[in-house]
Structure 1
Amino acid sequence: MHELKIERLIDAPIATVWRAWTEHFAEWFVPRPWSVEVIEQDLRAGGRSAMVMRGPNGEEQPSEGVYLEVVPERLIVSTDAFLPGWMPAGPFMVRIDSFADQGGKTRYTAIARHWTKDARDQHEAMGFEAGWNAATDQLEEVVARIK
């Protein structure tokens, strides 16, 4: 598989990390100084995911897709390969976020699976590791604030 992955042990129970991920999404999802406007986040299989990421110099990057699988406090799978109504779109990746209990803490794993090696390499060159780790740092900040 053409996969990129980060993994983190977060010092909070799954319920808190899940709440931070789902209810405070705009506070952590993109690394600062970027921000994200959530247009829709329908967390169910077939539900729409739509947002606009904004950079500090006026950049705008819309992102739209669907959720493929949502298991509360366990798993969120989404993709940009489809738009709502299963309309095909130009695919970049499937994103898999998983949450597992590890002694009262949460093992959080975020995976980006790509259709091709070139797409994976492009995502890595765009700063996957630094960007997704920075976003996960921000997720941990939200968790610490709400627990």
Structure 2
Amino acid sequence: MSELTIVRVFDAPRELVFRAWTDPAHLASWFGPHGFVASETSTDPRPGGAWHSRITSAEHGVDRRVSGVYREVSAPSRLVFTFRWQHPEDEVGETLVTIDLAELAGKTSMTFHQAPFPDTAERDGHLDGWQSGFEDLDKTLEDLK
């Protein structure tokens, strides 16, 4: 089984980065790869609370739904939640996402971890999607500051 870890520094306070992950309007503004639009996004950031979003791309002919359940919510430093695509051909199954946020001189260091993936191809596909989404998160955080 493969795992994915991404470490990234955002030029924003930790509380704001945490809010961008847990406020549905903020999450919808950046969630998904470039060229995708997130809609129908909802969050209930508490242990046992659910989240979901729909991402679409007319250019790519893609309409997918993703959802999960929060396992741990420790504002503003840690989020743990399940992640599952809601379409029949999904071969990834349920993964667990862990996000640790650390203060770094007015910025935020984020360690993102997702596992397990059935193979490296699936892991790498998610890596590309998350990295482009995090570029959009940079823009969202700049707008929110």
Specify if TM > 0.5.
yes
Q: Does the aligned pair in 2 maintain the 1:3–1:113 contact within 8 Å?
A: yes
- Deviation of 1:6 (Å): 1.0
State the match for 2:69 in structure 1. Answer: 66
CA RMSD of aligned residues (A): 2.0
State the match for 1:123 in structure 2. Answer: 122
The one-letter code sitting in structure 2 at the alignment partner of 1:75 is: R
Q: Does the aligned pair in 1 maintain the 2:51–2:67 contact within 8 Å?
A: yes
- Deviation of 1:3 (Å): 1.3
Q: How do 1:31-46 residues align onto structure 2 when only pairs under 5 Å count?
A: 31-46=33-48
Q: Does the aligned pair in 2 maintain the 1:77–1:96 contact within 8 Å?
A: yes
State the match for 1:16 in structure 2. Answer: 16
Gaps of 5+ in 1: 82-89
- The CA distance in 1 between the partners of 2:68 and 2:47, in whole Å, is 11
- The CA distance in 1 between the partners of 2:119 and 2:79, in whole Å, is 20
- The CA distance in 2 between the partners of 1:48 and 1:108, in whole Å, is 22
The one-letter code sitting in structure 2 at the alignment partner of 1:20 is: A
Deviations 1:42-99 (A, max 9, x none): 1110001122221224421111221111111111111147xxxxxxxx8331011221
Q: Does the aligned pair in 2 maintain the 1:44–1:67 contact within 8 Å?
A: yes
Query: Under a length normalisation based on structure 2, what TM-score does the superposition of the two structures give?
Result: 0.82
* Misfit runs of 4+, over 3 Å: none
In structure 2, relative to structure 1, the CA distance for the partners of 1:80 and 1:134 (3 Å cut) is closer
- Deviation of 1:2 (Å): 3.1
The one-letter code sitting in structure 2 at the alignment partner of 1:50 is: H
- Deviation of 1:120 (Å): 4.1
- Deviation of 1:30 (Å): 0.6
In structure 2, relative to structure 1, the CA distance for the partners of 1:141 and 1:39 (3 Å cut) is closer
> How many pairs align?
135
Query: Under a length normalisation based on structure 1, what TM-score does the superposition of the two structures give?
Result: 0.81
- The CA distance in 2 between the partners of 1:19 and 1:63, in whole Å, is 19
State the match for 1:2 in structure 2. Answer: 2
